[in-house]
Structures are given as C-alpha cells and as structure tokens.
Amino acid sequence: MKSLIVSLSAFILVLALSLAVVPQYVVGEEKMTMPFGTEDDVEFAKKLWKAMKGYTDWPFKTDVYLGQSPHGAYLKMFYGVVTVNETPYHIIIKDNYMGKDKSGNKLSMEDVAKDPQKYLAAVTIMLQQKKGYDPDNNDWFWAKYLADGSLDKNPKGMAMAGRVAKGMDAGCIACHKGAKDSDYLFFNDKM
C-alpha cells in the first residue's frame, strides 16, 4: 500500500508540474451535434491508441491495485504525455483487469500482477484536450478501448470516445463530476 501512495504522490506532482509547462491551445467553434462517438472523436481515438503504444513501460504508474465498480476488479494507472496531430496532451490511462479467468476461477491481485496483459479487460482514458473542447467538463476527452485497442460501444452502438455521455444521468462524465475539487479525478481524492 505504501508504494501505491508513494507512486500516486509522484503522479500528482508530475501532473501539477507538467500542466504548467505544456501549452494550452484554444480551438474555434466545435460541431456540437453529438457529444461523442462522432467521426472526429473516433479518428482522434484511433490516432491516440497508436500514440499510446508502449504506455505500460511509462515511468509514472501505480502497481496493480484493488478496483471498484464500474472499473475493473483490479486496476493500474499510468500518466504520460502523448503527441497526436503534432500536439502534446496529458493523459491518464487506467487499465481495467478481470476478476475471474476464462474458466471462471477467481483471480487474486498477485495473479493479475504477474501477467497483467493476460487479464486486461478494458482501457479507459482521460486526456486533457485543448481549452474550449468541453468547458463544462474541464476539457477532458474520454475513451474506452477494449483490450485489442478497438473502441467499446454503448448499447446504442455509439463509439465511446469524446465527451462520453455528456448531459446524461450516467456514464463517464456524470460519475466523474462527483470527484472532489471539480477536477473529475478520483485518484487524488483520498490524499
């Protein structure tokens, strides 16, 4: 537990430092027909997945830890800067692992920590978009990928990328809005 807290503190420090360094850009008028799953969102998410390549080796990450609903039974978090369309962005990546193996046997945290990729169920990300992208919600871009990098879809078949479930009662934004200090981040709430 101690190492988790130490690495989480490192996270916050780096996030705070780098937020001050990476320049913010202002985007012009955005097409606001659909809040997420648009062609632009999907294209950005695809490029982003490529830009994220190798993130499991990034220096800022936690150990595998016990998760909570709706994320995986076990989780691991990574922080870094990715470049998409020649623009750098801060990103927080959460690997969500299964709680049971394919035969239904319960997995322990040690099982998952030994071979995380084997038990990866989904990858959920929050990327700090350009200023003006979604001023109501701290300009976060949200996405949920499956383990193979394809975008997950909601029951209506909309790709989960962009301002996911903006204005809806449930989903990424509605739930993360409840995080302390209006930063939409939960990991720093316990400190």
Q: Which is nearer to ligand HEC, 132 or 171 (CB)?
A: 171
Q: Is 58 in the site for ligand HEC (CB under 6 A)?
A: no
46 to 39, 117, 148: CA distances (angstroms): 11, 20, 12
Q: How many residues bind ligand HEC (CB under 6 A)?
A: 23
Token representation of residue 84: 């998409």
Reduced to 3 states, what is the DSSP secondary structure of residue 11? helix
Element containing residue 148 per DSSP (H, E): none
Specify the DSSP class assigned to residue 151: B
Residue 157 backbone phi and psi in degrees, to 5: 85, 10
Q: Which two tokens stand for residue 160?
A: 């989960």
Residue placing its CB nearer to ligand HEC in the complex, 132 or 138: 138
Range 28-57, binding ligand HEC (CB under 6 A)? none
Q: Is 96 in the site for ligand HEC (CB under 6 A)?
A: no
Give whichever of 131 and 180 is closer to ligand HEC, judged by the CB atom.
180
Partnered with residue 76 across adjacent β-strands are 95
Among 70, 131, 177, 180, binds ligand HEC (CB under 6 A): 70
Is residue 77 within 8 Å of 61, Cβ to Cβ?
Answer: yes
Q: Does 113 bind ligand HEC (CB under 6 A)?
A: no
Binding window for ligand HEC (CB under 6 A); candidates: 16-24, 38-46, 67-75, 105-113: 67-75
Binding site for ligand HEC (CB under 6 A): 67-68, 70-71, 75, 77, 92, 94, 124-126, 142-144, 160, 164, 171-172, 175-176, 185-187
